[in-house]
């Protein structure tokens, strides 16, 4: 399987990159890590006229703390993100999901920004960004804007980015020290797209759940929070885990797919949410 | 469409070629340079047979365009041994019968070499996890794990 | 012969492989690494998008105009330029290398574009205009067209069933799956117009009966089809038997376009249009006495071979014919074998080749019977196993089991598995509400197929009209050149099974040298190598007839060396002993190199009656492989290994995940030629078997589209996904093979699906389990009720109805 022909641009600055996107719009595809894009090019599922390789654009691979937030350049590789001490200490939920992201070799090349922009509902990083309450900074020749995660992911493989916009950075609010997290997913093989995916954070104050966030991936059409489940935990603590789990299961409308029936997916949500809450609490 | 000239190092030798942008790095290595030790098993990044090292990082060469390697250093399995002397991983694979048909082997050797350079003493669990990105249909994997663990524990 | 000394033989040693150095260095020579002929065009195949359709229009003109395109071969060309492939069953649509007027499976070749490189060829593919007139596809084996219906009956199954105290009647499904080697098909075809011949390189694994089939389709006599295999092949497991179809397709392209044609299959094509194991539906009726004696077995088999019967099918159905009774003494056996067609890719060899399908049905039946009789399954097996004193044992359907001690093997497996202790642990776990199960299977693993078994697809009367088929022979050549260099050639086309190393060990023993000095050639050239129609690597035949042929050739050569040495040393040939690279006698010695020198440079000095040259070709024919007799009995394999597997699993009640806590397998494969390679083959066979049991299934939708079309959806297990396996060995050498070795490597592919299904059934306390045992599928079994105690945690009300 070989790609269809395309023109190749390799901008050396952000301005050049944005200019190319402004000219070509949705005829162009941004190439960052390539772990998602190139298979689609090889299978000819995508045939962009222009491939814009942004790997040489400087300034997009920084990872730093800034005033209670962690700013992650779009080109930070998944391996670097997972291995970063800053991430492990301040974004424990995100750190815990990285081992599930693809495989050792693909994480060397795949980027945080690329995964977010690709918006595969079975991918870990978009869900992690959502649950963490983060946002994406996108740039175009028209300027920059910051899109909160709740508004970023629209549906399968679709974000709120306009065709001429480039995701340049993601912003992750650092977790409070008393935050407990858990990442639970079930896949048939290690590293596969999960059949169901749950991310849970609990902010604990005085032995009580002061704040909770529960997010779901895979069984939905975009990464989704389940606020009613979170509220149950805040109201009644971890004992409400089964109730929260039922609320989460009822919030999704999966389709039968090749690997799992709709009712199995719904059931998994229930099982995995309960496991995630208990795991986070422990 | 729009041929590009690229210059890179491959197994420490300088290479300069003109390529189509869509030429995959795997095809460039195998057919432009004749380095057929890197194998192609799926062309969608799952089987791992095509794994090489780009500026030290193990990567899927079927998911890279040759043009992207411009200015970089690529290492393939042909560069692992030092002349007649096999790399410790190659020796261990031989001793442990960690290859049968040998088609998946170069990709695993390159990823394992990368792993051992990042983490000199990986746990068995880490080795097994790294291997989740590689498909072998011959060995059942256990001898491969043994071989890598053997080198890790030396 | 020679001085009797206690000397360690190379055969039997766990010698690390001679093949490794090149492969580890990336210096393997797989076909796509080679350019056997210059200026080859590169091919891409246009494949049908529909499972069943009339091809009402196919217009390549735009493709022909595309820069870089050399030409196009259409289905119409293929129909005009070739005959349908010969096949063992008449009543089926003719099958050619490409479809012409009707496409019968999604992925069937319609045309071939040849261009200056593969990238351009794929660009041009998109320019071919195709119009389809859709037809209804048949996707269920139950609804498939029946093209062969043969019944067989041995003893008196009806009477035995009538007197049985328990009759188990169940239906089993073995789904379609594939071993998917990491290297796909590869062909380079070079038509020689002047000679009217085709030279083709392909990573073909045999059997070389298929060489005749390909030649027949091309209208060539055998000698006009020169088929060459490359030195290395990246796994096959049966799948690369049917690359011959593409040899024909690319051969025709080369013939039409006047250039050599190179085709390297990609993964999507491989999953869509190469080959697969048959899907089989088996209804079993098994009669037992109250004390557990298996009195009768009746099978009713529906075998789905895909859209066409493609040679060597329906071999999957008949390969195991001599083992229909499995490991058991039952004498009353019947089977009705129906071959059906559905609109899916044609099937072929796949590791285990009929064994997984047979044993899934048989061993599940035994497990179910044990449950209903209230007998432990190990005990039920023990009561019925063929006894050690009964070997060689003739089965009701004509199989001849060479040797074995099945009960000792069972005992060893139970011991290694700590069976009693595990049953106690299981009882404790159940009391806690945990779903722990134990499964077992006893598998006779046949090897070295009788090339005549396929004629069972015809009636006895029909067989009388044609040339009988029988036997399985291999050829090997051992030669010593003028400088004393030793070369062995053997026609077994390995793909990683270490034939070169073992051949070197065998020859080294005969010639008294170190295996490392022997060059072994396993690449096969039908014009220049010694080979038979049975040549190739399938039915685990190498350790029987492959190694046997090497042994015979090397032994003859050794006799010649001793005769020449006797003249040099002044003694008789009998007094000469070959070891350490020299011929020894009378207190003196002479090097092999010198003996070679005499034979080559000074043939005048050779003893009378000794021909010049040192070059022996020998054929090893497995014995007892007669054609089927008039009562439809056939010894379908020459040697029979035996395996007992025991597995312990725990099923997660909430998610359906199956954790394999322990897997033990005890093997009897007779004499082991190289224990290191043996264990490697066992592990590989197990990996494939576990894959079929837990992960892999080829899935089409009702419209005939392939849903498992890439490695993203066709899930092959990787290292973290496979359970560990403990291997034990027992050995009853075969009295029938030259070295006493039996074939192995397929056994655990035959056993693991049954063993793991038995274990999960035991864990869930139900009888109806189907593979693959993915979490979703196991959970559905739980959710539908029927387990020890309550099923999976309370379902949401809306999820209760399936």
Question: Which positions in chain A touch B114 (Cβ < 8 Å)?
Answer: 105, 108
CA-to-CA dists, residue A99 to A180, A201, C367, angstroms: 18, 18, 40
Q: Tell me which chains share at least 3 CB pairs under 8 Å with chain C.
A: A, B
Q: Does B52 touch chain A (CB under 8 A)?
A: no
pLDDT, tens digit (0-9, with 9 covering 90-100), for C47-88: 999 999 999 999 999 999 999 999 999 999 999 999 999 987
- Co-location of A255 and A186 in the same domain: yes
DSSP type of residue C314 = T
For β-strands C279-288 and C166-174, DSSP reports them as antiparallel
The reply to whether B107 touches chain C by the CB within 8 Å rule is no
Residue A2 lies in a domain: no
- pLDDT > 90 fraction of chain A, expressed in percent and rounded: 97
C510, C413 Cβ separation under 8 angstroms: no
**Closest residue to C720, CB basis, from A190, A249, A258:** A190
3-state helix, strand, coil split of chain A in percent (to 5) is 40, 25, 35
Helices (H) and strands (E) in chain B, counts: 5, 5
Mark whether B72 and B125 lie in a shared domain.
Answer: no
Q: How far apart are CA B48 and CA B44, in angstroms?
A: 9
The angle subtended at Cα A171 by Cα A169 and Cα A173, nearest 5°, is 170
Does the N-terminal peptide bond of residue C330 adopt cis geometry, omega within 30 degrees of 0? no
Domain co-membership, A205 together with A167: no
Q: How far apart (Å, rounded) are the C-alpha atoms in residues C668 and C645? A: 12
Same domain, A158 and A210: no
Q: Provide φ and ψ at C616, rounded to 5°.
A: -120, 130
Which CATH number does the domain housing residue B32 bear? 3.10.20.30
Using the beta-carbon criterion (under 8 Å), do C234 and B134 form an inter-chain contact? no
Phi then psi for residue C170, to 5 deg, are -140, 160
Helices and strands counted in chain A (H then E): 12, 14
- The verdict on whether omega for the bond into residue C279 sits within 30 degrees of 0, i.e. cis, is no
Find the CB nearest A5 among C123, C707, C779. C123
The separation between CA C520 and the C-alpha centre of its own chain, rounded to angstroms, equals 23
Please indicate, yes or no, whether residues A147 and A75 belong to a single structural domain of this protein: yes
d(CA B152, CA B138): 23
Q: Which chain B residue shows the shortest CA-CA distance from C714?
A: B46
Q: In chain B, what is the straight-line distance between the N-terminal and C-terminal CA atoms, in Å?
A: 50
Query: Which stretch of DSSP H or E encloses residue C425?
Result: helix C419-431
- State whether A106 and A131 are in the same domain: yes
Beta bridge partners of C42: C115, C262
Q: Which of C115, C497, C719, C747 to mutate to test the interface with B (most CBs of B within 10 A)?
A: C719
Which residue of chain A is at minimal alpha-carbon distance from C654? A271
Cβ pairs bridging B and C (under 8 Å):
165
Contact between B62 and A189 using a beta-carbon 8 Å cutoff: no
A74, part of any domain: yes
Q: Looking at CA atoms only, how far is residue A2 from chain C in angstroms? A: 6
> Which residues in chain C touch residue A5, judged by CB atoms under 8 angstroms apart?
123
CA torsion sign, C760 to C765 to C770 to C775? negative
In a shared domain, residues B11 and B56? yes
Q: What is the CATH number of the domain that holds A84?
A: 3.30.465.10
C789 in contact with chain A, both atoms CB, cutoff 8 A: no
Q: Is C438 exposed, middle or buried (0-12, 13-18, 19+ CB in 10 A)?
A: buried
Helix (H, G, I), strand (E, B) or coil at A70: strand
Q: Are strands C145-154 and C332-341 parallel, antiparallel or unpaired?
A: antiparallel
CB A147 within 8 A of CB A49: no
Chain-centre distance for alpha carbon C180: 12
Tell me the CA distances in angstroms from A165 to A14, A29, A66, A110, one per residue in order: 11, 11, 24, 20
pLDDT of residue C24: 98
Domain termination site, one of A149, A173, A197:
A173
Dump pLDDT digits (tens) for A83-102: 999 999 999 999 999 999 99
**Among the residues of C19-135, which ranges form H helices?**
20-24, 61-65, 75-81, 118-125
Residue A204: inside a domain: yes
Mean pLDDT of chain A: 97
Both A85 and A162 in one domain: the answer is yes
Q: Cβ–Cβ of B44/A43 closer than 8 Å? A: yes
3-state secondary structure of A46: coil
3-state secondary structure C655-705: CCCEEEEEEEEEEECECCCCHHHHHHHHHHHHHHHHHHHHCCCCCECCCCC
Closest partner residue to C715 among A192, A249, A263, by Cβ?
A192
Looking at the complex, report in whole angstroms how far the Cα of residue A107 sits from the nearest Cα belonging to chain B. 9
Instruction: Report the pLDDT value the prediction gives residue A190, as an integer from 0 to 100.
Output: 86
CA dist C49 → B87, B125, C297, C342, C602 (Å): 47, 43, 43, 16, 67
Chain B neighbors of A106, CB-CB under 8 A: 45, 60, 133
Q: Residue A49 is part of which domain span? A: 7-53
Judged by DSSP in three states, C413 sits in helix
pLDDT in tens, B81-98: 999 999 999 999 999 999
| Side-chain-side CA neighbours of residue C238 (13 Å) | 27
Whether residue A186 lies within 8 A of chain C, CB to CB, comes out as yes
Q: With an 8 Å Cβ cutoff, are B133 and A38 in contact?
A: no
Contact criterion met (CB below 8 Å) for A247 and A241: no
* Cα C738 from chain centre: 22
In this structure, are A141 and A209 located in the same domain?
A: no
In this predicted structure, what is the pLDDT of residue C6?
A: 64
Is residue A207 one of the residues assigned to a domain?
yes
CB atoms within 10 A of CB A86: 15
| C-beta atoms of A263 and C799 within 8 A | yes
Contacts of C350 in chain B (CB under 8 A): none
Tell me the residue range of the domain where B69 lies: 4-79
* Contact (CB, 8 A) for C673 and C12: yes
Residues of chain C with pLDDT under 50: 1-4, 788-791
User: C680–B131: do the CB atoms touch at under 8 Å?
Assistant: no
Q: Are residues B9 and B74 in the same domain?
A: yes
Closest residue in B to C20 (Cα–Cα): B94
In a domain, A86, yes or no: yes
Same domain, A253 and A275: yes
Task: Give yes or no: residues B93 and B34 share one domain.
Answer: no
Domain shared by B109 and B61, yes or no: no
Interval A48-58 mean pLDDT: 98
CA angle C74, C79, C81 (to 5 degrees): 90
User: Are A165 and A75 found together in one domain?
Assistant: yes
B132, B73: one domain? no
Domain final residue pick, B21, B44, B79: B79
Chain A residues with CB-CB distance to B72 below 8 A:
none
SS3 A190: coil
Kindly state whether residues B73 and B12 are assigned to the same domain. Answer: yes
HSE, side-chain direction, 13 A CA sphere, residue A199: 31
How many domains does chain A contain in total? 3
B45 and B106 co-located in one domain: no
Instruction: Give me the residues paired with residue C438 across strands.
Output: C648
Contacts of B97 in chain C (CB under 8 A): 16-17, 676-677, 679-680
| Cα distance between residue A69 and residue A135, in whole Å | 11
Of the candidates A126, A281, A149, the residue with the CA atom closest to the CA atom of residue A202 = A281
Length of chain C: 802
CB contact under 8 A, B36 and C26: yes
Who among B2, B57, B111 is closest to A7 (CB)? B2
Do A158 and A224 lie in a common domain? Answer: no
CATH code for the domain of A227:
3.30.390.50
The 8-class DSSP code of residue C48 comes to -
Of A1, A53, A105, nearest to B133 by CB-CB distance is A105
CA dist., res. B112 & res. C396, Å (int) = 53
Dist. CA A268–CA A265, nearest whole Å: 5
Kindly state the tokens that stand for C209: 């009966």
DSSP C628: P
- Asked if B39 and B9 sit in the same domain, the reply is yes
Asked which of B79, B109, B136 is the last residue of a domain, the reply is B79
The kind and range of the H/E element at C749 are helix C747-764
pLDDT of residue C2: 45
Half-sphere exposure of C47 (CA within 13 A, CB side): 22
| Mean pLDDT to the nearest integer, A136-149 | 98
- Residue of C23, C34, C203, C689 best to disrupt the B interface, most CBs of B under 10 A: C23
Residues of C in contact with B129 (CB under 8 A): 720
End position of a domain, from candidates A156, A173, A190: A173
Give the containing element (helix H, strand E) for C217.
helix C209-218
- Domain of A29: which CATH number? 3.30.43.10
Residue of C126, C712, C796 with shortest CB distance to A266: C796
Nearest chain A residue (CA) to C653? A271
Evaluate whether ipTM surpasses 0.90.
yes
Residues B20 and B60 in one domain: yes
Task: Assess A188–C contact: CB distance below 8 Å, yes or no.
Answer: yes
Contact between C667 and C416 under an 8 Å Cβ cutoff? The reply is: no
B129 vs A4, A55, A190: nearest CB: A190
Cβ-Cβ contacts under 8 Å, A5 against chain B: 1, 20, 22
Q: Does B78 touch chain C (CB under 8 A)?
A: yes
How far is A74 from C270, CA to CA, in rounded Å?
36
Contact partners, residue A196, CB within 8 Å, separation at least 6 = A185, A186, A216, A217, A218, A219, A265, A268, A269, A272
Picking from B79, B102, B122, the residue at the C-terminal end of a domain is B79
Q: Do C182 and B93 touch (CB under 8 A)?
A: no
Whether residues A20 and A102 fall in one domain? no
Provide the CATH number for the domain around residue B148.
1.10.150.120
B10 with B73, same domain? yes
Q: Supply the DSSP symbol for A32.
A: S
Q: Which of A102, A104, A269, A271 to mutate to test the interface with C (most CBs of C within 10 A)?
A: A271
Nearest-CA distance C196 → chain B (Å): 31
Taking residue A253's Cβ as centre, other Cβ atoms within 10 Å add up to: 11
Question: How many structural domains is chain B composed of?
Answer: 2
C119 touches chain B (CB under 8 A): yes
Q: How far is B135 from chain C (nearest CA, A)?
A: 6
Backbone angles phi, psi at A214, to 5 degrees: -125, 125
Residues 6 or more apart whose Cβ sits within 8 Å of residue C771: C174, C175, C360, C692, C693, C694, C697, C753, C756, C757
Give the tens place of pLDDT for each residue, B106-138: 999 999 999 999 998 999 999 999 999 999 999
Beta carbons of C183 and B97 less than 8 Å apart: no
Residue C187 bridge partners (DSSP): C202, C263
CA atoms within 13 A on the CB side of B135: 29
Which of A173, A207, A226 is at the close of a domain?
A173
Interchain CB contact of C712 with A (< 8 Å): yes
């Amino acid at each position: 399987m070989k790609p269809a022909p395309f023109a190749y641009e390799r901008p050396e600055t952000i301005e050049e990159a944005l200019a190319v996107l402004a000219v070509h719009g949705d005829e162009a595809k941004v190439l960052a890590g390539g772990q998602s894009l190139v298979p689609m090019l090889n299978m000819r599922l995508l045939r962009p006229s222009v491939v814009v390789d942004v790997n040489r654009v400087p300034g997009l691979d920084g990872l730093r703390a800034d005033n209670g937030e962690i700013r992650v350049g779009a080109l930070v590789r998944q391996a670097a993100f997972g291995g970063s001490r800053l991430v492990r200490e301040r974004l424990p939920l995100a750190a815990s999901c990285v081992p599930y992201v693809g495989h050792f070799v693909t994480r060397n090349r795949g980027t945080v920004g690329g995964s977010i922009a690709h918006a595969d509902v079975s991918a870990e990083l978009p869900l992690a960004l959502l649950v963490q309450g983060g946002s994406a900074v996108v740039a175009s020749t028209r300027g920059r804007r910051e899109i909160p995660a709740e508004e970023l992911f629209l549906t399968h493989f679709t974000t709120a980015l306009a065709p001429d916009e480039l995701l340049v950075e993601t912003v992750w609010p650092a977790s409070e020290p008393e935050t407990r997290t858990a990442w639970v997913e079930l896949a048939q093989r290690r590293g596969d797209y999960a059949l169901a995916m749950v991310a849970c954070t609990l902010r604990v104050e005085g032995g009580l759940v002061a704040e909770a966030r529960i997010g779901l991936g895979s069984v939905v059409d975009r990464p989704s929070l389940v606020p009613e489940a979170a509220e149950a935990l805040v109201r009644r603590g971890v004992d409400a885990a089964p109730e929260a789990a039922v609320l989460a299961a009822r919030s999704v409308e999966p389709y039968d797919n090749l690997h799992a029936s709709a009712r199995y997916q719904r059931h998994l949500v229930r099982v995995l949410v309960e496991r995630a809450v208990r795991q986070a609490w422990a | 469409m729009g041929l590009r000239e690229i210059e890179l190092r491959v197994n420490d030798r300088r290479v300069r070629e003109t390529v189509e942008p869509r030429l995959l790095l795997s095809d460039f290595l195998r057919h432009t340079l004749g380095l057929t030790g890197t194998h192609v098993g799926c062309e969608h990044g799952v089987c791992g047979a095509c794994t090489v090292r780009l500026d030290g990082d193990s990567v899927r060469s079927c998911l890279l365009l040759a043009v992207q390697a411009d200015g970089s250093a690529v290492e393939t399995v042909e560069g692992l041994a030092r002349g007649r002397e096999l790399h410790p991983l190659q020796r261990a694979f031989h001793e442990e019968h960690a290859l049968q048909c040998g088609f998946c082997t170069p990709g695993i050797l390159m990823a394992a070499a990368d792993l051992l350079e990042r983490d000199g003493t990986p746990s068995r669990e880490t080795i097994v996890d790294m291997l989740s990105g590689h498909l072998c249909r011959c060995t059942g994997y256990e001898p491969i794990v043994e071989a890598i663990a053997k080198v890790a524990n030396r | 012969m020679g001085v009797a000394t206690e000397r360690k033989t190379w055969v039997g040693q766990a010698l690390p492989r001679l093949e490794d150095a090149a492969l580890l260095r990336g210096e393997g020579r797989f076909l796509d690494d080679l350019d056997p002929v210059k200026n080859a065009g590169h091919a891409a195949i246009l494949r049908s998008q529909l499972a069943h359709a009339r091809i009402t229009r196919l217009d390549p003109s735009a493709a022909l105009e595309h820069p870089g395109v050399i030409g196009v071969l259409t289905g119409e060309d293929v129909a005009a330029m070739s005959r349908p492939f010969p096949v063992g069953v008449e009543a089926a649509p003719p099958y050619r290398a490409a479809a012409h007027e009707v496409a019968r499976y999604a992925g069937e070749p319609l045309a071939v574009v040849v261009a200056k490189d593969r990238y351009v060829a794929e660009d041009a593919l998109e320019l071919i205009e195709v119009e389809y007139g859709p037809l209804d596809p048949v996707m269920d084996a139950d609804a498939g067209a029946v093209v062969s219906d043969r019944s067989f009956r041995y003893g008196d199954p009806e009477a035995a069933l009538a007197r049985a105290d328990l009759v188990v009647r169940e239906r089993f499904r073995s789904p379609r799956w594939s071993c998917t080697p990491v290297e796909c098909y590869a062909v380079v075809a070079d038509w020689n117009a002047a000679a009217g011949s085709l030279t083709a390189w392909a990573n073909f694994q045999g059997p070389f009966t298929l060489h005749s089939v390909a030649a027949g389709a091309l209208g060539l006599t055998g000698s006009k089809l020169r088929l060459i295999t490359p030195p290395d092949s990246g796994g096959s497991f049966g799948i690369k038997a049917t690359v011959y179809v593409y040899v024909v397709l690319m051969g025709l392209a080369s013939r039409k376009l006047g250039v050599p044609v190179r085709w390297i299959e990609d993964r999507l094509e491989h999953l869509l249009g190469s080959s697969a194991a048959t899907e089989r539906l088996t209804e079993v009726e098994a009669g037992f006495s109250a004390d557990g004696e298996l009195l009768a077995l009746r099978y009713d088999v529906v075998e789905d071979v895909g859209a066409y019967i493609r040679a060597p099918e329906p071999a999957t159905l008949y390969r195991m014919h001599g083992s229909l009774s499995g490991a058991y003494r039952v004498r009353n056996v019947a089977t009705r074998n129906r071959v059906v067609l559905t609109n899916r890719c044609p099937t072929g060899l796949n590791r285990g080749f009929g064994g997984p399908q047979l044993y899934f049905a048989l061993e599940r039946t035994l497990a179910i019977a044990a449950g209903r009789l209230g007998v432990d399954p190990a005990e039920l097996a023990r009561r019925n196993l063929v006894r050690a004193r009964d070997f060689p044992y003739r089965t009701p359907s004509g199989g001849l089991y060479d040797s074995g001690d099945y009960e000792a093997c069972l005992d060893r497996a139970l011991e290694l598995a700590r069976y009693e202790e595990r049953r106690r642990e299981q009882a404790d776990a159940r009391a806690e509400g945990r779903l722990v199960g134990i499964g077992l299977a006893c598998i006779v693993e046949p090897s070295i197929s009788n090339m005549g078994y396929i004629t069972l697809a015809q009636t006895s009367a029909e067989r009388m009209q044609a040339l009988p088929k029988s036997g399985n022979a291999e050829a090997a050549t051992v030669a010593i050149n003028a400088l004393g260099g030793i070369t062995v050639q053997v026609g077994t086309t390995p793909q990683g099974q270490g034939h070169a190393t073992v051949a070197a060990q065998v020859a080294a023993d005969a010639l008294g040298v170190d295996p490392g000095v022997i060059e072994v050639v396993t690449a096969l050239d039908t014009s220049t190598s010694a080979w038979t129609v049975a040549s190739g690597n399938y039915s685990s035949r190498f350790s029987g007839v492959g190694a046997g042929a090497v042994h015979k050739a090397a032994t003859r050569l050794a006799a010649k060396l001793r005769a020449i040495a006797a003249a040099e040393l002044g003694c008789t040939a009998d007094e000469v002993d070959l070891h350490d690279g020299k011929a020894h006698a009378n207190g003196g010695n002479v090097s092999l190199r010198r003996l070679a020198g005499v034979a080559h440079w000074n043939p005048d000095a050779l003893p009378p009656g000794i021909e010049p040259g040192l070059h022996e070709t020998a054929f090893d024919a497995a014995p007892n492989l007669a054609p089927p007799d008039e009562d439809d009995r056939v010894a379908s394999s020459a040697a029979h290994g035996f395996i007992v597997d025991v597995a312990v699993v725990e099923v997660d009640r909430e998610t359906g995940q199956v954790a394999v806590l322990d897997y033990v397998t005890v093997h009897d494969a007779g004499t082991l030629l190289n224990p290191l390679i043996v264990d490697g083959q066992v592990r590989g066979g197990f990996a494939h078997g576990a894959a079929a049991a837990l992960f892999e299934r080829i899935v089409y939708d009702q419209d005939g589209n392939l849903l498992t079309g890439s490695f993203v959806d066709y899930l092959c297990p990787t290292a973290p996904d496979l359970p560990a396996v403990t291997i034990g060995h027992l050995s009853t050498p075969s009295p029938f093979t030259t070295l006493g070795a039996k074939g192995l490597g397929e056994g655990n592919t035959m056993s693991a699906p049954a063993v793991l299904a038995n274990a999960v059934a035991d864990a869930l306390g139900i009888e109806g389990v189907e593979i693959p045992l993915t979490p979703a599928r196991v959970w559905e079994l739980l959710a539908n009720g029927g387990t020890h105690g309550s099923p999976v945690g309370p379902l949401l009300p809306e999820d209760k109805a399936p």
